[in-house]
């Protein structure tokens, strides 16, 4: 079975985000970029399926400027077989991303598509679900366990208050949550090997998709600053303040 994984280049999760002084967006100049953590979990899951003999090939797709080839190479170093970059200038909106991916999937015909549940930059949590709708496929979002058996995939989902398990006909789309697995580190030999793995570049025009804006970003502002409060000297004083000043007890 062929598995397709999507990856997004985002700011490294350890970096403190700063808003530009003109409030037009966040400032990403000279900031360390990395593979989106949820996408990394998706790659790991696909590679494990291949190691278990369930998957025959793992194809990794990323959308963005040339720099996102770096994240494709990271995924290849983790064990994916080949990469596809869809070259776009800026980050297209989720719906356009879903439309581009739908075309790639029409060509590649994977049986399972594994994606991160959200990217830690835009925090939209929507591309996987949109893609599933466009392809009329079932979806298992926020997965903490994925089992492929008897032509179906069983997905345990992290839902508010617990876990839910659904069975999906293949082909299907799975989006990953944190508990699904712990991604490995790429070894140096695998990083070297990844440089020679095939990586195709396509454009939205090749795929016949018009990248369109459905929203307009009016401004980006820093969140309201929290003022540091006071230090209390004892537990007694803390309880007294919480009761009488903050009135939260």
Window 93 to 152, contacts with other proteins (CB under 8 A): 93-95, 98, 120-134, 136-139, 141-142
Q: How many chain residues touch other proteins (CB under 8 A)?
A: 78
Is there binding between residue 29 and other proteins (CB under 8 A)? no
Is there binding between residue 81 and other proteins (CB under 8 A)? no
Is there binding between residue 67 and other proteins (CB under 8 A)? no
For tokens 């303040």, the residue is 241
Is there binding between residue 226 and other proteins (CB under 8 A)? yes
Is there binding between residue 246 and other proteins (CB under 8 A)? yes
For residue 16, count other CB atoms closer than 10 A to its CB. 6
Min CB(189)–other proteins separation in Å: 26
Is there binding between residue 24 and other proteins (CB under 8 A)? no
Is there binding between residue 88 and other proteins (CB under 8 A)? no
Question: Within its chain, how far is the Cα of 229 from the centroid?
Answer: 36
Min CB(245)–other proteins separation in Å: 9
Residue 79 makes CB contacts below 8 A (sequence gap 6+) with 43, 46, 47, 50, 51, 58, 190
Is 106 within 8 Å of 164 (Cβ atoms)? no
Min CB(76)–other proteins separation in Å: 23
Is there binding between residue 163 and other proteins (CB under 8 A)? yes
19: DSSP letter: B
- State whether residue 111 is helix, strand or coil: coil
Min CB(80)–other proteins separation in Å: 22
Min CB(198)–other proteins separation in Å: 30
User: Site for other proteins (CB under 8 A): which residue of 160, 185, 196, 210?
Assistant: 160
Min CB(99)–other proteins separation in Å: 9
User: Site for other proteins (CB under 8 A): which residue of 66, 210, 231, 244?
Assistant: 231
Tokens, residue 138? 């079932």
CA distance 24 to 2: 41
Nearest to 138 by CA among 171, 160, 161, 186: 171
Residue count (the chain): 249
For tokens 């712990």, the residue is 182
Looking at the Cβ atoms of 91 and 194, the one nearer to other proteins is 91
Looking at the Cβ atoms of 154 and 190, the one nearer to other proteins is 154
Angle at 38 between CA 143 and CA 136, to 5 degrees: 55
Stretch that binds other proteins, among 53-61, 64-72, 191-199, 227-235 (CB under 8 A): 227-235
Helix (H) or strand (E) holding 146: strand 139-149
């Amino acid at each position: 079975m062929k598995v397709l994984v999507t990856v997004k280049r985002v700011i490294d999760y350890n970096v403190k985000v700063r808003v530009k002084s003109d409030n037009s967006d966040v400032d990403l100049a000279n900031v360390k970029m990395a593979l989106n953590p949820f996408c990394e979990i998706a790659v790991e899951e696909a590679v494990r399926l291949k190691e278990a003999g369930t998957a025959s090939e793992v194809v990794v797709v990323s959308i963005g400027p040339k720099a996102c080839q770096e994240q494709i190479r990271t995924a290849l170093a983790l064990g994916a077989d080949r990469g596809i970059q869809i070259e776009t200038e800026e980050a297209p909106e989720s719906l356009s991303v879903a439309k581009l991916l739908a075309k790639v999937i029409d060509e590649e015909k994977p049986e399972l598509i594994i994606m991160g549940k959200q990217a830690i930059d835009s925090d939209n949590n929507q591309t996987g679900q949109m893609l599933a709708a466009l392809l009329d496929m079932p979806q298992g979002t926020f997965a903490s366990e994925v089992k492929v058996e008897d032509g179906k995939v069983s997905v345990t989902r992290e839902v508010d208050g617990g876990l839910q398990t659904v069975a999906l006909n293949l082909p299907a789309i799975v989006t990953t949550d944190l508990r699904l697995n712990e991604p490995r580190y790429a070894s140096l030999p695998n990083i070297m090997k990844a440089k020679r793995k095939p990586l195709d570049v396509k454009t939205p025009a090749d795929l016949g998709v018009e990248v369109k804006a459905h929203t307009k970003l009016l401004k980006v502002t820093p969140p309201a600053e929290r003022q540091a409060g006071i230090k209390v000297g004892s537990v007694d004083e803390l309880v007294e303040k919480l009761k009488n000043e903050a009135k939260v007890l």
